[in-house]
């Protein structure tokens, strides 16, 4: 695969992911854990089929290869997926996706604390800018629902950070088997937590279909495209290119659903996005230099 083709695939992944907010807004009655359950039901068969196709047979060897690190990463994804769903239901799409973008900084902090990975001065500086952006975003959203949504979005970013650091710890090169495990764990977690909370998984058929379509098309499809493209595009550049998701997600819900957010959300989100871009650009330059 050529570098240009890889770039296109990574950008397409970001575009596909950016449409998830639109789909979430089509879901009327299903709660967080029911959506997690049905979305994962849609996601798992697609990822499993891709792994079978790529392996030319049974994917068990690839799944076993991720080991304990892959299991830990999959558990991290349960929190990431659940937090994302709740945050989008509790706050605006703009708030949620901008806060998801904090994940690279949480990854750097956990990698520093757990793995002893060195955090570059440029990343520390970008973290400071990112914290300023987050403060601007959430300072006016102190009401229960909105603040809970903001916290859930940050917990989602933390879940993705745990996923990433777990794979680094285990030196896992192929992330998709761990994502598949995350989908399986999410099915179990969604069913268990919904039952414990007295919620039902028997949701209106449109809600179940929208949730499964999100898992099968936008989530799994984006992950497959990103995985293919990132084989020839360095990690820092892939992360930078996929940020198109953060920019487009609020645009889609504004264009099609007339959903907008406060000026503070967009100002803080812009600051956060600048920080993420600063970090990714410096990482890409460093990778090129070495």
Residue 236 pLDDT greater than 70, yes or no: no
Question: Cα separation of 115 and 108, whole Å?
Answer: 10
The pLDDT tens digits for 83-141 are: 999 999 998 898 899 889 888 889 889 999 999 988 888 888 988 988 898 888 877 66
Q: Is residue 242 part of a domain?
A: yes
Domain total in the chain: 1
Question: What's the rounded mean pLDDT across residues 34-49?
Answer: 96
Q: Is residue 201 part of a domain?
A: yes
Question: Cα separation of 31 and 262, whole Å?
Answer: 25
Q: For the residues of 137-152, what is the DSSP string, one character each?
A: HHTT--SHHHHHHHHH
Token readout for 29 is 């009655």
State pTM to two decimals.
Answer: 0.89
Pick the more confident residue, 286 or 123. Answer: 123
Q: Is residue 6 part of a domain?
A: no
Q: Is residue 155 part of a domain?
A: yes
Residue 142 pLDDT greater than 60, yes or no: no
Question: What's the rounded mean pLDDT across residues 223-247?
Answer: 81
pLDDT band for position 218 (cuts 50, 70, 90): very high
Question: What's the rounded mean pLDDT across residues 28-39?
Answer: 95
Question: What's the rounded mean pLDDT across residues 153-157?
Answer: 94
Q: Is residue 2 part of a domain?
A: no
Q: CA neighbours within 13 Å on the CB side: how many for 156?
A: 22
pLDDT band for position 147 (cuts 50, 70, 90): confident
Question: What's the rounded mean pLDDT across residues 131-159?
Answer: 82
Q: Is residue 249 part of a domain?
A: yes
If you average pLDDT over each of 1-5, 50-54, 232-236, which comes out highest? Answer: 50-54
The pLDDT tens digits for 158-189 are: 999 999 999 999 998 889 999 999 999 999 99
pLDDT at position 286 is 67
| pLDDT above 70 coverage of the chain, percent | 94
Question: What's the rounded mean pLDDT across residues 50-76?
Answer: 94
Residue-range definition of the domain harbouring residue 284: 12-289
Q: Is residue 4 part of a domain?
A: no
Question: Cα separation of 163 and 18, whole Å?
Answer: 21
The pLDDT tens digits for 185-217 are: 999 999 999 999 998 999 999 999 999 999 999
Q: Is residue 132 part of a domain?
A: yes
Q: For the residues of 201-226, what is the DSSP string, one character each?
A: S---HHHHHHHHHIIIIIIHHHHHHH
């Amino acid at each position: 695969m050529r570098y240009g083709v890889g770039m296109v695939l990574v950008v397409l992944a970001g575009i596909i992911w950016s449409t998830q907010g639109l789909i979430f807004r089509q879901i009327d009655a299903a709660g967080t854990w029911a959506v997690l359950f049905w979305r994962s039901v849609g996601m798992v068969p697609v990822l499993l089929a891709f792994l079978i196709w790529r392996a030319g047979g049974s994917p068990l060897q690839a799944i076993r290869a991720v080991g304990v690190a892959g299991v830990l990463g999959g558990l991290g994804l349960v929190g990431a997926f659940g937090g994302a769903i709740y945050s989008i239901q509790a706050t605006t799409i703009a708030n949620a996706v901008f806060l998801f973008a904090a994940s690279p900084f949480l990854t750097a902090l956990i990698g520093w604390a757990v793995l002893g990975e060195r955090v570059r001065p440029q990343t520390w500086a970008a973290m400071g800018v990112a914290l300023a952006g987050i403060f601007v975003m959430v300072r006016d959203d102190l009401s229960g629902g909105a603040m809970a949504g903001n916290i859930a979005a940050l917990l989602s970013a933390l879940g993705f950070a745990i996923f990433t650091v777990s794979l680094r710890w285990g030196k896992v090169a192929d992330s998709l088997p761990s994502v598949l495990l995350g989908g399986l764990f999410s099915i179990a977690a969604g069913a268990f937590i919904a039952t414990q909370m007295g919620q039902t998984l028997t949701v209106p058929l449109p809600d179940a279909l929208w949730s499964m379509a999100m898992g099968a098309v936008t989530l799994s499809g984006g992950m497959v495209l990103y995985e293919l493209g990132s084989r020839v595009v360095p990690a820092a550049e892939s992360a930078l290119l996929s940020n198109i998701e953060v920019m487009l997600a609020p645009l889609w819900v504004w264009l099609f659903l007339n959903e907008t957010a406060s000026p503070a959300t967009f100002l803080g989100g812009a600051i956060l996005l600048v920080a993420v871009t600063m970090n990714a650009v410096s990482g890409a330059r460093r990778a090129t230099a070495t």
